[in-house]
Amino acid sequence: MRRSQPDKRRHRVLLAVDDSKSMSETSTSAFALESLALISNAMARLEIGDMGVVRFGQQTPELLHAFDSPWGSGAGAEIVGRMRFDADNTIDDRPMMELLEFLDGVLDTDASDAGDGGAKQLVIILADGRFHEKEGLRKAVMDATGRGGVMYAFVVLDGGKGGSILDMQTVEFVGEEGGGGQRPVFRKYIDEFPFPLYCVVGEVGDLPMAVGGVVRGWMEMMT
């Protein structure tokens, strides 16, 4: 018979939360903490499996809650207390690339310990979606999302200052310099978003439906 409930030994959810100054500047830091609490508590109630939490945006991502640690009543409060939203990234920093590299090591380690077939893992990234990395990021995302047994979902928190991410544009100058000169080509920022699976959430009340759809898709993919 097909199992009606997931095997908790082989299903793991990892929440990666952007702890950078960008979240404060766009007023999405409180949104991120509310989202973290809502999602983590929902996952714990559903008993989907082991859960981990990572913060990124600093020079090195940090594992705040390991998969093998029980999710008790004090776990959420401890994680919230360690979030600062003050990491100041320069144009040369690579916070998203470093997160993917960090998770590659974490997920590889856990998959090797998960027994037959490896761990079935879901990574949910909570961030404002505003990152400047371009060189190599799209390939890094393709490599990460192409790994077997892992699904990446990016939840864009879009409820703060600076306008909606859906209205942002990027500009690229095309043509040869000199002569006719170069001309600007404008594109919607979200149309070039590097993560293939993402959703834009403007209010905490929209999270259950958005994340519920992600989890259902994950479970269908894994079965």
- Supply the mean pLDDT for the chain: 82
- Which helix (H) or strand (E) element contains residue 188? strand 183-188
In angstroms and rounded to an integer, the radius of gyration of the C-alpha atoms of the chain is 18
Residue 8 vs residue 209, higher pLDDT: 209
Looking at residue 91, its pLDDT comes to 63
Tokens 């090591």 appear where?
A: 105
Statement: residue 43 has pLDDT above 90:
no
What pLDDT score was predicted for residue 115?
A: 46
* Residues 74-99 pLDDT 10s: 788 889 889 989 878 766 678 899 99
Does the pLDDT value for residue 4 go beyond 90? no
**Average pLDDT estimate for 112-136:** 74
